[in-house]
Each structure stands twice: as structure tokens, then as C-alpha cells.
A and B are shown apart, each in its own frame.
Chain A
Amino acid sequence: MGSVPTLAIEEVSRTFPGVRGGPPTRAIEPTSLRIADNDFICLLGPSGCGKSTLLRIVAGLDRPTTGRVLLDGEPVIGPGADRGMVFQSYTLFPWLTVEENIGFGLREQGTAAAERRRIIAHYIERVGLGGFEHHYPRMLSGGMQQRTALARALANDPKVLLLDEPFGALDNQTRALMQELLLGIWEADRKTVLFVTHDIEEAIFIANRVAVMTARPGRIKSDTPIDLPHPRHYTVKTTPEFSAYKARLTEEIRIESIRAVEMGA
């Protein structure tokens, strides 16, 4: 791991105030995580463990109760174009075409029109949306919408790409193709990626490191480097190495899922 991490999460915790006089909810225990430049990390955990909350804090959409997040040594105080995000829900702007959605961030930063067109065309090609440039989001399938959302985040050339279960709402086949697409982009462009998921196979297949979170209140329980060679082909999922990772992480997650169920999450 690099000596200066691109992204450093330092003792971040989050407590939500109680609803209607109820006791406050502790979503995340003080958690630290260091992510090196160009690393691809998956946050894996049972549902409701606070992994999305942690991601939102990194994005600047939520504030930590204690601790801080550093990006290249600078504390994160709010959302910004240096941390691109893809959400689980479809968040394309419905009044903009695919092309205009991808160019949203560039326009906001005042990129010149010619340069903008060049970048948009590049990413349209990159995510395989040629021919759909002028479509509105409602005309697109879920997979295409998420590909557009990915292109929209990448077009800003963020330092860190944050993904919050981006393929969670897609069917299995589309999902597998999207994983390969994202992996291909990472292998070619080497972005720093923080990816949240509850899908073990997905985590092993795309990440270089898998950090497992405990049930609520969440904290990072283990950090497993995934030592599978790149470029990864989908057939890697049938190798004994892959199965060994899967067996190990499944066991870790299982314990936490049982705890989560016992706590009524």
C-alpha cells in the first residue's frame, strides 16, 4: 500500500438522533480505512450495517459525528466533483438526454463546449451507449441508466469513484455485464474506487481489497486483499482461488448477518 493514501477515513463514526424522543441510533462505530491511489476497495456488509452511510460521509453528503475524511491530505467538508458517485437508485436527470446527463458536471465546471463534446463522446463509447445519445432516461433500461450514471461520474475525472450498490437493482445477467464493464474501465484507467455492496461474489470479482463491515453499529471487521490476477475474465469466478475467498468471506458475513437479524435490523 502506498505511503500517502488518496483517501483516508480516520476514526469516523456516525450517530443519528433518536426519532420522536427515542434513543439515538449508532450507525457506525469509529472506523478507519486507508485507500491507496488507484486501489479498488469493496465495503462488504449485511444490509443496514452503515456501509452506505460511510460512503455518503466520504461523498460529503453526510457529516461524521466524530472523526474525519481526508482526500489527498485535505479534509472533506462537503460534496464535490473530486468524488464522483453512482447511486443505487436511478438518479439520471430525467429532463436531460443521455449526452446532456454525462455532460452535466462538465458544464457546471465551465468546460468549453468542444472539449465537453469530446469527453462525452469518449465515455458514451466507453460504456457502450452509442446510438442512445439523444434518448431521455425514461426510454432506457435500468442497466443503460446505470451505465449512463457511471459515465456521468467518470466524465468529471474524479480522484475517487464512489459506488453505492450501483448494480443492486439490476437483474443477474445485466449485473454480471456491468461488473465486467466497470472492471474493464478500472483495468484501463486505474481509478481509485470505493464500492459498497452486500454481494460477496461481486466484491471478490471486482475488488483488490474487500473490507467486511460488522452488523450495526458498523465497523470494519476484516480487510482481505484479493490476489486474483488482472485482467480478470468472468471465468475467474469458477477457479478454486475464487471459491476459497468466497468461502472465507461468506463465513464472516454470515456471522454478521445473524447478529443483524438478532438485533432486528
Chain B
Amino acid sequence: MATLGGFVNKTFLADPITMVVSGWRLLVLHGFYVDIGVTIWRVIGGFVIAAVIGVPLGAAMGAYKPIEAFFEPFISFARYLPASGFIPLLILWAGIGEKEKLAVIFIGSFFQIVLMVAVIVGSTRRDLVEAAYTLGASAGGIVRRVLLPSSAPDIAESLRLVLGWAWTYVIVAELIGASSGIGHMITDSQALLDTGQIIFGIVVIGVIGLVSDYLFKTLNQRLFPWSLA
């Protein structure tokens, strides 16, 4: 709006119309949808790997104190290591290919998932666990039939949050070294001084985030109808 009114130079901040036009050109002429696809694939790939390993480990930590005591110090420390700070190192190790992108997202999500799941499982209502014991549940039965089902909605909710953060990491990774992806397009546009394309890229990320968030939420409500207030 500020640009349309002539208050800001077009080079620095494209107006909405220019943005939509550049976006259209991007999609149609430059195959931007491929970049979008690549980025989505990276986020989901890294996130799924982190969740598949992180959720069971977090659950084990929440359920068994010795396991928690063993892993907790390291994971609490690792959680504060900035995933984006690892990018130069990961490029050296894994190049600028897909492995590096997945690794960045993995580092950014994994430790968060583990700690959040551990806290959720560890805070299961004590009286439910006791009730299950008086019904003859074994230790394994407590984990499978009390701790996990009672934590499942909160775990799904925390995964939804972490997925949002994973989106930030993938863009950072693509800004620094990539030959494809939304972040790569944004750096390219910067070199061409095409602010319209940059803003379009950011908006696309926002829209995808919103859609994935909505899908996640709907899925959670479908899966856990009992937990609705």
C-alpha cells in the first residue's frame, strides 16, 4: 500500500499487484511449483524422521526415570544448539544436497520433540496410572494402555508446533546453500532485486504453513474426539 501510494521506492518494496504478477510469472514461466514441491518434501522428510525417532525416545524418557536421567542432560543441551548454526558444518559434511537439508530440519526438530514428549508422558495423571495398576495392568500395559493413549493428543499438538518451526529451518537452510526450493528462489530474487518475487515466496510459505496447520488440527480432532472440551 505504501508503495502504491508512491511513498516507497518500488525496488525495495514491491506493491501487491507487482507481487502477484511476479508470482504468476514465477509459477508459470520459471517452474516455481517445483521449488515449492521440493521444499515441502524436505520439511516433511526431515520432520517425519525426527518424529519417528523422537517420539518413542521421548515417550521412553517420560515413562522410565533411568532412561530420562541418562538422556536428559545431553538433550537439554542439544536443544539450545541453534540448528541454523550447524548449516555451514553440515554443508562441509553432507554437501548442499538433500541430506544436508534433512539434517538441518532434523537437528532443529528432534531435540524439541524428545523433550516435549518426555514432559507430556511424564505428566500423565498419577491417579489414572494407579487405577490401571489396581485393575491388574502390568508395567508394559501401563505404558501401552495408559501413558501413550493419554498423552497422544498432547503429543500430536506438540508435533504441530514443531512442524511450524521446521518451516523456518528449511528456509534458512535453502537461503544459505541450495540449488532449488523456496529459499533458493528468494536468494536468487535478491540478486535480481525482484522484491515482488521475494514477498511472493514468503507469502507462499505462510499459506503452506497455514494449510498444514489446519490439516494437522483437523486430523488431531478426528483422531482424539474424547479429548475435546
Q: Name which of A81, A91, A95 has the most chain B CB atoms within 10 A of its CB.
A: A95
Chain B contact-residue range equals: 20 to 34
Contact check, B224 vs A95: say whether CB atoms are below 8 A apart. yes
Which of B89-97, B131-139, B180-188, B201-209 is found at the contact surface with chain A? B131-139
Complex contacts, B136 vs chain A, CB 8 Å: 80-81, 105, 108-109, 156
Flag whether B195 is at the interface (Cβ < 8 A): no
Please provide the chain A residues from 93 to 107 with a CB less than 8 Å away from any CB of chain B in the complex.
93-96, 104-105, 107
Among residues 127 to 153 in chain A, which have CB atoms less than 8 Å away from a CB atom of chain B? 136-138, 149, 152-153
Whether B127 pairs with A89 at a CB distance below 8 angstroms is yes
User: 1/0 contact trace for B113-139 toward A, CB 8 Å?
Assistant: 000000000000001101111111110
Tell me if A84 is interfacial: C-beta within 8 Å of chain B: yes
Closest to B138 in A: A108
What residue in chain B is nearest A61 (Cβ atoms)?
A: B130
Closest chain A residue to B131 by CB distance?
A: A91
Are the CB atoms of A91 and B226 closer together than 8 Å? no
Verify B131–A95 contact, CB threshold 8 A: no
Instruction: Please give, as numbers and ranges, the residues of chain A lying within 8 Å of B133 by CB-CB distance.
Output: 60-61, 78-79
Contact B225 A136 (CB under 8 A): yes
Complex: A138 Cα to B132 Cα, angstroms: 18
Q: Which of B20-28, B67-75, B142-150 is the contact stretch?
A: B142-150
Inter-chain contacts of A87 with B (CB < 8 A): 127, 130-131
Q: Return chain B residues, CB-CB under 8 Å to A59.
A: 134
Residues of B with C-beta under 8 A to A61: 130, 133-134
Q: Which residues of A contact B11 (CB under 8 A)?
A: none
> Any chain A CB within 8 A of the CB of B9?
no
Whether the pair A95, B149 counts as a contact (CB closer than 8 A) is yes
B141 lies within 8 A of chain A by Cβ: yes
Docked complex Cα distance between A243 and B146 (Å)? 45
B contact residues around A138 at 8 Å (CB): 226, 228-229
Restricting to B145-166, which residues have a CB under 8 Å from any CB of A?
145-146, 149-150, 152
Q: Is B3 an interface residue (CB 8 A)?
A: no
How many residues of A sit at the interface, in one of the four size bands? 20 to 34
What's the Cα separation between A123 and B130 when bound, in Å?
A: 22
Q: Please indicate the chain A residues that have their CB under 8 angstroms from the CB of B224 in the complex.
A: 95
Q: Are A94 and B135 in contact (CB under 8 A)?
A: no
Whether B227 is near chain A, meaning CB under 8 Å from some CB there, is yes
CA distance A95 to B124 in the complex (A): 13
B134 touches A85 (CB 8 A): yes
Nearest-CB residue, chain B, relative to A94: B226
Which A positions have Cβ atoms within 8 angstroms of B?
59-61, 78-81, 83-85, 87, 89, 91, 93-96, 104-105, 107-109, 136-138, 149, 152-153, 156, 162
The 4 closest A-B pairs by CB, nearest first: A81-B136, A105-B135, A79-B133, A91-B131
Q: What are 24 A-B interface contacts by the 8 Å CB criterion?
A: A59-B134, A61-B134, A79-B130, A79-B134, A81-B134, A85-B131, A87-B127, A89-B127, A93-B132, A93-B149, A93-B150, A94-B150, A94-B227, A95-B226, A96-B226, A104-B135, A107-B145, A108-B132, A108-B138, A108-B145, A136-B225, A136-B226, A137-B226, A138-B228
